[in-house]
């Protein structure tokens, strides 16, 4: 039986998904980050598939989302604030499980979709102790993605305003610090599964695939895998949800 439990880690609302028989044991831990305007509750299926593989899945609500959503809603220009907060809160969640001795052999993974996939890429630039990662329709190039949004469905649908030259310079300097595109060697031979659909209009497939093409064959990227589909747009097919779980199960050796 799979247990789905909702609680707070400090100020962070999370859902923990784990096999009931294993919940008191130290297990591999995977954090899964939801997309823009979504919530942890909409990601439970990912947690369930991970839990079936003997992995403890933790799904946080990003700031301004889910239980942390404010009444007036979110604005497009706050996207990077949310990603930045995800990065800052990541060690808090990990420390909670470390203090309870619930992480097996420090097998820590991270994944997410859309904004969560972008968060996943960014986390790899900051924490070299992450053991494996999976980015679903993410983007490793915060600067390039920010420029792309100014002439995309984001600009019409999410109130994205073009910054002044000085604002853009400051923003791009900050975003460069979390850009895996600019420092791909930080992958450092870690297992990394990437998926994107060719018909995605919200996070550009071309930028993500170009990144993969650039790093393919490099020694630091020898454990990077690319999977693509067509016809799903900005939706993750269930087969990819299953592939994500199988990837972490293989890398964390929980396959029976």
Distance, in Å, from the CA atom of 50 to the CA atom of 61, rounded to the nearest integer, reads 18
A 10 A CB-CB count for 130 gives 20
Task: Sort strands 2-9 and 12-19 into parallel, antiparallel or unpaired.
Answer: antiparallel
Q: Which of 96, 1, 2, 92 is nearest to 46 (CA)?
A: 2
A 10 A CB-CB count for 123 gives 23
Q: Which of 87, 116, 75, 64 is nearest to 174 (CA)?
A: 87
- Tell me if 114 sits within 8 A of 202, measured CB to CB: yes
- Tell me if 2 sits within 8 A of 22, measured CB to CB: no
- Alpha-helical (H) ranges within the chain are 44-52, 79-99, 115-126, 142-149, 153-157, 165-176, 205-215, 238-251
Distance, in Å, from the CA atom of 116 to the CA atom of 85, rounded to the nearest integer, reads 12
Question: What's residue 146's pLDDT?
Answer: 85
Q: Which of 151, 150, 145, 153 is nearest to 172 (CA)?
A: 145
Q: What is the pLDDT of residues 169-204, one digit of tens each?
A: 667 778 899 999 999 999 999 999 999 999 999 999
Dihedral over Cα of 146, 126, 34, 181: its sign:
positive
User: pLDDT over 90 for what percent of the chain?
Assistant: 78
Q: Please state whether the predicted TM-score (pTM) of the whole model is above 0.75.
A: yes
A 10 A CB-CB count for 194 gives 24
Question: What's residue 167's pLDDT?
Answer: 58
- With a cut of 50, list the residues of the chain below it in pLDDT: 74, 158-160
């Amino acid at each position: 039986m799979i247990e789905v439990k909702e609680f707070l880690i400090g100020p962070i609302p999370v859902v923990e998904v784990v096999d009931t028989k294993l919940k008191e044991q130290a297990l591999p831990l995977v954090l899964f980050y939801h997309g823009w305007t979504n919530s942890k509750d909409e990601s439970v299926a990912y947690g369930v598939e991970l839990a079936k593989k003997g992995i403890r899945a933790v799904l946080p609500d990003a700031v301004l989302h889910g239980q942390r959503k404010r009444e007036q809603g979110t604005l497009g220009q706050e996207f990077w604030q949310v990603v930045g907060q995800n990065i800052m809160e990541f060690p808090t969640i990990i420390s909670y499980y470390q203090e309870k001795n619930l992480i097996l052999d420090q097998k820590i993974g991270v994944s997410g979709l859309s904004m969560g996939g972008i968060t996943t890429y960014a986390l790899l630039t900051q924490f070299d102790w992450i053991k494996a990662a999976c980015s679903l329709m993410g983007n490793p190039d915060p600067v390039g993605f920010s420029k792309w949004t100014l002439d995309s469905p984001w600009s019409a649908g999410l109130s994205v305003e073009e910054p002044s030259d000085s604002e853009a310079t400051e923003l791009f300097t900050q975003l460069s610090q979390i850009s895996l595109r600019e420092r791909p060697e930080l992958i450092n031979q870690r297992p990394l599964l990437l998926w994107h659909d060719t018909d995605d209009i919200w996070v550009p497939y071309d930028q993500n695939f170009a990144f993969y093409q650039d790093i393919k064959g490099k020694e630091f990227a020898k454990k990077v895998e690319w999977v693509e589909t067509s016809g799903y747009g900005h939706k993750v097919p269930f087969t990819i949800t299953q592939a994500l779980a199988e990837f972490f199960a293989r890398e964390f050796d929980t396959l029976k």
